[in-house]
Amino acid sequence: MIPAEITGYFQYLSQENLTMIPAEFNVINMPSSPTSSSSLNYLNDLINNNNYSSSSNGQDLMLSNNSTSDEDHHYNHRQSIIILDERKQRRMLSNRESARRSRMRKQRHLDELWSQVIRLRNENNCLIDKLNSVLETQDNVLKENSKLKEEASDLRRLVCDLKSNKYNSF
């Protein structure tokens, strides 16, 4: 059995059954994910220390190096599943990070659009103020132009009257 399989099985044990496991296994502090690197390190430390015993008869637990082709196939199948699980975890993490970056880009774009709206509104208000100022100036110029035309007309009339009086007085 490979370390990842062992950790995977502990999740199915009830609290009562956990007390039957030797204390050297320290199941309570075992990492929760059977495929995590900390889980594999934890189990490798247990296997390499070789100072655990069976709770039923006190004999040393022995790991056999003898493998049949079925065991090799089972081991390879388990390794493939672990690799696929690790890839799935990496892909999920990558997708999560990509989604986070996408949300950040979207938020940044939204912020830029809002700042553009504010800038354009300010620019629009400035243009409206300028337009009002120009319209007011135009109105004043038109009034002054009308007044000057009236004065010019009065002066022409006066000149005509003076000319006609000049000729009439001789």
DSSP helix/strand/coil, 60: strand
Answer for the pair 120, 128: CB distance below 8 angstroms, yes or no.
no
Per residue in 125-169, pLDDT (tens digit) is: 999 999 999 999 999 999 999 999 999 999 999 999 888 887 776
Tokens describing residue 140 = 């004043």
Tokens describing residue 166 = 């000049």
Look at the chain and report how many structural domains it folds into.
1
For residue 54, being part of any structural domain is answered with no
For residue 90, being part of any structural domain is answered with yes
Answer for the pair 35, 90: CB distance below 8 angstroms, yes or no.
no
For residue 93, the enclosing domain spans: 75-163
Averaged over 65-88, what is the pLDDT?
77
For residue 47, being part of any structural domain is answered with no
Percent of the chain with pLDDT over 70: 59
For residue 53, being part of any structural domain is answered with no
Position 117 confidence tier, pLDDT thresholds 50, 70, 90: very high
For residue 62, being part of any structural domain is answered with no
For residue 65, being part of any structural domain is answered with no
